[in-house]
Amino acid sequence: MGSKSDFENSLRTLFTRVFGETCNLESFRRLSGGASQETWALSGDNHAAILRRAPGGTSKARSSAAIGLPAEAKLISAANKTGVPVPDILYVLSDEDGLGDGFVMSLVEGETIARPILRNDEFASARRILAGQCGTALADIHAISLDSAPSELQRSDGLAQISQYEDIYRSFDAPRPVFELALQWLKANAPAPTPSVLVHGDFRLGNLMIDESGLAAVLDWELAHIGDAREDIAWLCVNSWRFGQTENRVGGFGQLEDLLEAYNTRAGTDISPGDIDWWEMLGSLKWGVMCMIMYEAFRSGGDASVERAAIGRRVSETEIDLINLLEAAHA
């Protein structure tokens, strides 16, 4: 929508709306992260901010599970009030901005890419305390009042997610016996539900801003929903999100006991590592189906890129993780 200079003019006007009439936008650049949303770094007159908006300035949630950017902005503000480390929401786009759906937030410095966080010396002391910080932050997210949460949030517990992902998997008519066994095992061994809380939905390296002191901000709230607290804890433990550091169950950097000690202390709960196992298996299955969805974009002709084609050969990563988890459950 619009030409390049229209876009630049819209950004200039936006910058004055956020920071005041006398503030000139001096530079803007697209940040590489964020495959589903556009992220732009804006700066000028000693102000800096991040614009997060829908691709190409559209105004639609990218999938049925995503809550949409205006709702995401409301949720980040609610999380801020509960003490979760998040950027400040400075401005929510409206039609007159001519930039589609989105919002402007404060710039939080740090690193989101997993490999440097897990390997570089500058993050060594952060890695030692990060599991506990994640436990505290997750407890604070789960303490956000459901009354203050945006109405766009859907309810989705473990069994509903099994059913949702099974439907998608079956629609591809590409049978995978390991997925069949995981589906049946998960249904037969489902844990009793716990009281519903606000779930972030994608809490893992890549969506967390990390600096030398640890967790600086929780980002990417678009998959938030109302569900089971254990889902968030387990998603961070899924082997795909340990980025090769399998021995560290929490995100490749920490131990689950440390995360749970901080979580249980803050939330007044009594969750044990064994309570996470079922949800970790569900997480691996979900990521496997998500890889199938991304490959389907290639197979159906929608996206001809080599990246979308090749991701179909990563589904087997989740299958071997499922095998390892099923074996452990039957040891």
Partner 1 sequence: MHDQPSVSELVQAVKNFIDETAAPNLEGHAAFHARVASNALATVLRDLEQRPARETEEAARLIALLSAPEDSELETLNRNLSEQIQAGTLTAETPGLLAHLKATTIAQVEIDQPRYSGLKTAKT
Contact in structure between 199 and 226 (CB atoms under 8 Å): yes
Q: How many CA atoms lie within 13 A of 66 on its CB side?
A: 15
**Residue from 246, 257, 265, 272 binding partner 1 (CB under 8 A):** 246
Closest CA to 44 of 93, 1, 8: 8
Contact in structure between 177 and 120 (CB atoms under 8 Å): no
CB nearer partner 1, residue 146 or residue 329? 329
| 124 part of the interface to partner 1, by CB under 8 A | no
- Least Cβ distance, residue 329 to partner 1 (angstroms): 8
**Residue from 176, 217, 237, 253 binding partner 1 (CB under 8 A):** 176
| 316 part of the interface to partner 1, by CB under 8 A | yes
Closest CA to 25 of 51, 2, 3, 1: 51
- Least Cβ distance, residue 188 to partner 1 (angstroms): 8
Euclidean distance between CA atoms 11 and 32, whole angstroms: 18
| Segment lying near partner 1 (by CB under 8 A), choices 76-84, 115-123, 193-201, 308-316 | 308-316
Euclidean distance between CA atoms 312 and 289, whole angstroms: 10
| 145 part of the interface to partner 1, by CB under 8 A | no
| 35 part of the interface to partner 1, by CB under 8 A | no
**Residue from 178, 215, 267, 294 binding partner 1 (CB under 8 A):** 178
Residue 15 has φ and ψ, to the nearest 5°, of -60, -40
| 36 part of the interface to partner 1, by CB under 8 A | no
| 319 part of the interface to partner 1, by CB under 8 A | yes
Closest CA to 161 of 57, 64, 282: 282
**Residues contacting 269, CB < 8 A, separation 6+:** 229, 263
| 177 part of the interface to partner 1, by CB under 8 A | yes
The footprint of partner 1 on this chain (CB under 8 A) covers a number of residues equal to: 33
| Segment lying near partner 1 (by CB under 8 A), choices 21-29, 48-56, 175-183, 267-275 | 175-183
- Measured in whole angstroms, the distance separating CA 219 from the mean position of its chain's CA atoms is 7
In 46-144, at which residue ranges do the beta strands (DSSP E only) sit? Answer: 47-53, 89-92, 102-106
CB nearer partner 1, residue 143 or residue 326? 326
| 331 part of the interface to partner 1, by CB under 8 A | no
**Residue from 204, 242, 249, 286 binding partner 1 (CB under 8 A):** 242
- Which pairing describes strands 225-227 and 102-106: parallel, antiparallel, or unpaired? unpaired
| 162 part of the interface to partner 1, by CB under 8 A | no
**Residues contacting 198, CB < 8 A, separation 6+:** 75, 141, 142, 144, 146, 149, 153, 224, 225, 226
Closest CA to 325 of 192, 178, 169: 178
**Residue from 180, 212, 265, 272 binding partner 1 (CB under 8 A):** 180
**CA distances to 31, 70, 214, 331 from 14, in Å:** 18, 16, 32, 59
Token digits for 135? 């436990």
CB nearer partner 1, residue 207 or residue 284? 284
**Residue from 202, 220, 222, 321 binding partner 1 (CB under 8 A):** 321
Euclidean distance between CA atoms 176 and 58, whole angstroms: 36
| 32 part of the interface to partner 1, by CB under 8 A | yes
| 299 part of the interface to partner 1, by CB under 8 A | no
| Segment lying near partner 1 (by CB under 8 A), choices 67-75, 154-162, 210-218, 321-329 | 321-329
| Segment lying near partner 1 (by CB under 8 A), choices 91-99, 132-140, 177-185, 228-236 | 177-185
Which residues bind to partner 1, rule: CB under 8 A? 32, 175-178, 180-181, 183-185, 239, 242, 244-246, 305-307, 309-310, 313-314, 316-317, 319-321, 323-324, 326-327, 329-330
